[in-house]
Amino acid sequence: MRNKTFIIVLTVIVSALCLYYLSFSFVAGNVQDKAEAYATDAQGNVDMAKKQAYLDSMWKEPVYLGMTYQEVKENELGLGLDLKGGMHVVLEVSPVEIIKSMSGNSKDPNFLKALDRAQELQKNSQQRFTTLFAEAFNEIAPNDRLSRIFSNTANRGKISYESTNSEVVAVIEAEVEDAIDRSFNILRTRIDRFGVNQPNIQRLKGTGRIQIELPGIDNPDRVRKLLQGMANLEFWEVWTPQEFTPYFMQVGQYLDEQQKAGKLNIAANKTNATPAAAGNNATVADATQDVLAQAAANDTAATDSTAIAATTTDTAALATADTSLTTPQGGVLATLFTQMPGGIGANVRDTARINDLFSQPGVRGILPPNMKFLWGVKPLAGEKGQEFVEFYAIKKGRAGNAPMTGEAINDARQDFDQTGRPEISMTMNPTGAKKWARLTGDNVGRQVAIVLDDYVYSAPVVQGEITGGNSSISGNFTVEEAQDLANILKAGKMPAPTRIVEEAIVGPSLGQEAINQGLISTIAGFVIVVLFMIAYYSRGGIIADLALLFNVFFILGVLAQFGAALTLPGIAGIVLTLGMAVDANVLIFERMREEAAKGLGMREIIDGGYSKAFSSIFDANVTTFLVGFILYFFGSGPVKGFAITLMIGIVTSFFTSVFLSRLFIEATYKKGGKLSFSTSLADKMFRNVTFDVMKYRKPAYAFSLFILVFGIVAMFITGPNLGVDFKGGRSYVVEFDQAVPASEVRSSLLDEFQQAGTEVKTFGASNRVKIITSWMADNESLEADEQVMAALQQGLQQYSNLTPEVLSSSKVGATMADDIQNTALIAILLALVGIFLYVMLRFSRWQFSLGGVVALLHDALMIIAVFSILNLFGISYEMDQVFIAAVLTIIGFSINDTVVIFDRVREYLHDNPRKDIREVVNPALISTFSRTIITSLTLFMVVVILFIFGGEVLRSFSLAMIIGVMFGTYSSLFIATPIVVDTMKDKRQQPEPQVQQVR
């Protein structure tokens, strides 16, 4: 074996890395176990608040290789929402409102018609909204100019009356993208402040959408309001330390007296919290989530207020004022607060407790009515991993309102001052300029706090009145901090409302059930494959199973290294990989058996088996990986999780099957001197197989045509059973105390859902139903969500004695559903085109590409047809995104099978250049028949296991796979190869250059 040392070293390195990254999961689990043990009383009851307090106390403590528990949690192999419960949301930033704002809310009829027309076009288009708006405006008013509408004060310097329509559209598009980025940053900080472990937020490239995943959420309504709330930018006056200190001292004395009287219990985290002290922090952790849930801000630096100054554009940066506030020596406040460079602050873990203390009636009675308190947005690092935030005393304006809001800002951008330091340039509209002049004039030598959603981002010191509406904020900024602060200032300039276009909520009980089902299906699938390989290939099967074990280990390790979450579809991908990984070993072992039949020695058998099987294995894996890549690129949510696992599995299975298994085989042969790749089962199973595929090709064509026509008729009669993903609407999984007929539940809901399309079916257990309704599918507002939920609960009132419980829910808006349909279709077409080009590249004849792609299209249509036929007979399974993943996976599997046959046909044509393709096709098919059946049989057993044990969520996926495996095998034999023969006619083949075999 060539490069043996390299393979050994690479295996050791990869194994070590996988062990290292998987170890985080074990360490995190160990901390969780200790927390549960700490919170468990003598009766075995777990105090969840106490458990959380323990975990909070360990958050910044080193627990593994010098890393804190927080760092360990960030590196562990996470679980997807479908396995641990939580909330998945896709938000869309409305470009319509942004464009209206840029136009100054123009009432121009052509402008309004163009917006309406663009919204209609967007339902069936993948183009940007700004492009559709431009097309619509040009269609409605071909001789009109957009600059007439958009050349206003807000767009001064960007759009003039002379600007062309294309120039105006470019500015609009830039502003829309900028608004989406700002919304993303604001939402990111809101989520960070929400107190959720391992949240995930990402922009969906090419769209105005933002995807958010929040594990463990138990209050979806609160999350919806948090995510859809508008950003609130305000400018506040700040109390000086000299003004605030007397009140601060009085508060400290009052709290000390309360503590001495036993009316106050303080538990702080000034240094390091311990498990014993953390018990009192349960209220702190709970309160933190409530207080910080109101946060909505950009993840930007809260720069030290002593380091920056607000100046006019024509004057130098001004000197800073002394803003220090001394912490009282001793007492309650000294326990909670700490001295910071610009004043005072507190440990992040103590902020909720401080909020609670300062909201007490006795404390409020000491403080002036126009004083309120806010925290800085970004924690500052302290010793031993502690984090501290600054504490600001804000002076309320009249009626409690801020003196100025973000509506006054026209623009803000990152710039550089005369010395080359980053600064922020800010311009205001005429009304804002007057307010800003008055605010800065009244606060010379004092701070003005820039506050977004009740968090202070910066508190610059003003040293002179700023007139004209042009200002700069300079200080000790990095370029990134200056850009972020500029974005924050712009957040108040232009409204960018968000709406939830897709949502899924999974309860913790369903998550645990999914984990159990995933484990059972994975273990069962693995056991089936292991036993079959041993029974069929003897000691060679044991080696293949060992390689398979390494394969699963590598998949999990690589997932952990990439920071990917393991989802239920991801588990399906692992189970599927188990079946598909066998294919490479089968190819190699079958080649070895052929070499052994020639009477060669074991060394020649091993070399021949691996070298002759390599090209088939390589081609098969590349085509399947291509499908996985397309799935990942166009999929979302569960489909992405499946695609990631599938791609990783393909790479690791190729490595373990081709290289690692060879190391094991050669080591076994070297040690024992002999090696068996066959059993009596293998010798008897496919002995004397003979058939003429060309003889049966026309009946096969007729059979396939019949099934397809029958499926089309069935679909026409019943309609396609599309999931919420593809048609829009809302779905709910409801569990009762005992079994209820789905038809009765549907009847009870029809009136509440105003006779809209409603489907109810048993979902897994007999006491569980899935309810799907299209009522108000076009309305994606929060109010509509609440209205549909209220109607659902009202309809279920008659079953109140069975205590119905909503275990999960999902929503897909109409526009989102259209996009999912379009991307699914594009994904399938791209997979077919990509495979066509790759096969043509590898086999140098378009006939092979045509045969392969027709067979793949045949398989995809067969799955859809059989689903429609089953639906006609009352066996109903949804066609959703996971179903599309199954179709694309079958495309990958089927071309895998077909490529192996084509490879053997090509080999026979090369060895017999004078023979016609019709003369070599049957011998080629017969020689690969055992491999085709064994691979298909193994995968079939695995997907049947997945169908039985994988749970209701994966039922349609596994059924599609079962159908696909059967028709994929059938099409490889009776569709793909005959098409190649029929399109080549009777032309004699010329000798082909020999394909180099790679070891």
Single residue among 812, 845, 870 that ends a domain in this structure: 812
Q: Does an H or E element contain 601, and which? A: none
**Do 561 and 439 share a structural domain?**
no
**Could you tell me if 139 and 533 are in contact, meaning their C-beta atoms sit under 8 angstroms apart?**
no
Give the DSSP letter string of 846-872. Answer: HHHHHHHHHHHHHHHHHHHHHHHHHHH
Overall average pLDDT of the 371-400 stretch: 81
**Do 833 and 699 share a structural domain?**
yes
**Do 735 and 709 share a structural domain?**
no
- List the domain range (segments joined by +) for residue 68: 4-76
Single residue among 448, 467, 494 that ends a domain in this structure: 494
Looking at residue 927, what is its pLDDT? 81
**Do 350 and 374 share a structural domain?**
yes
Looking at residue 143, what is its pLDDT? 85
Looking at residue 16, what is its pLDDT? 93
**Do 578 and 512 share a structural domain?**
yes
SS3 427: strand
Q: Rounded to whole angstroms, how far apart are CA atoms 961 and 59?
A: 44
Whether the full predicted model's pTM is greater than 0.85, yes or no, is no
Segment 593-635, tens digit of pLDDT: 888 878 888 888 888 888 888 887 888 788 888 888 887 877 6
**Residue that wins the pLDDT comparison between 416 and 186:** 416
**Could you tell me if 312 and 500 are in contact, meaning their C-beta atoms sit under 8 angstroms apart?**
no
Task: State the first-to-last Cα distance of the chain, in angstroms, to the nearest integer.
Answer: 8
**Do 822 and 803 share a structural domain?**
no
**Could you tell me if 439 and 235 are in contact, meaning their C-beta atoms sit under 8 angstroms apart?**
yes
CATH number, domain at 871? 1.20.1640.10
Taking 80 as the threshold, does the pLDDT of residue 328 lie above it?
no
Taking 50 as the threshold, does the pLDDT of residue 183 lie above it?
yes
Residue 836: inside a domain, yes or no?
Answer: yes
Single residue among 465, 494, 523 that ends a domain in this structure: 494
Residue 251: inside a domain, yes or no?
Answer: yes
Looking at residue 710, what is its pLDDT? 93
Q: Rounded to whole angstroms, how far apart are CA atoms 820 and 780?
A: 16
Residue 155: inside a domain, yes or no?
Answer: yes
Overall average pLDDT of the 408-415 stretch: 81
Taking 80 as the threshold, does the pLDDT of residue 141 lie above it?
yes
Q: Rounded to whole angstroms, how far apart are CA atoms 704 and 609?
A: 36
Q: Which residues of 368-397 are buried (b: 16+ CB within 10 A; e: fewer)?
A: eeebbebbbbbbbebeebbbbbbbbbbbbb
Segment 78-99, tens digit of pLDDT: 777 767 777 878 887 778 888 8
Looking at residue 637, what is its pLDDT? 60
**Do 657 and 619 share a structural domain?**
yes
**Do 108 and 71 share a structural domain?**
no
Residue 202: inside a domain, yes or no?
Answer: no
**Do 167 and 243 share a structural domain?**
no
**Do 315 and 407 share a structural domain?**
yes
Mean pLDDT of the chain: 78
Q: Rounded to whole angstroms, how far apart are CA atoms 189 and 293?
A: 10
Count of domains observed in the chain: 5
**Do 18 and 164 share a structural domain?**
no
**Could you tell me if 548 and 542 are in contact, meaning their C-beta atoms sit under 8 angstroms apart?**
no
Residue 617: inside a domain, yes or no?
Answer: yes
Overall average pLDDT of the 646-660 stretch: 88
Residue 103: inside a domain, yes or no?
Answer: yes
Percent of the chain with pLDDT over 90: 4
Taking 80 as the threshold, does the pLDDT of residue 396 lie above it?
yes
Which of 382-386, 498-502, 645-649, 823-827 is modeled with the greatest confidence? 645-649
Looking at residue 511, what is its pLDDT? 64
Q: Rounded to whole angstroms, how far apart are CA atoms 355 and 326?
A: 19
**Residue that wins the pLDDT comparison between 965 and 570:** 965
Looking at residue 708, what is its pLDDT? 92
**Residue that wins the pLDDT comparison between 362 and 417:** 362
Residue 276: inside a domain, yes or no?
Answer: yes
Overall average pLDDT of the 771-783 stretch: 77
**Do 475 and 519 share a structural domain?**
no
Residue 201: inside a domain, yes or no?
Answer: no
Q: Does an H or E element contain 372, and which? A: strand 371-376
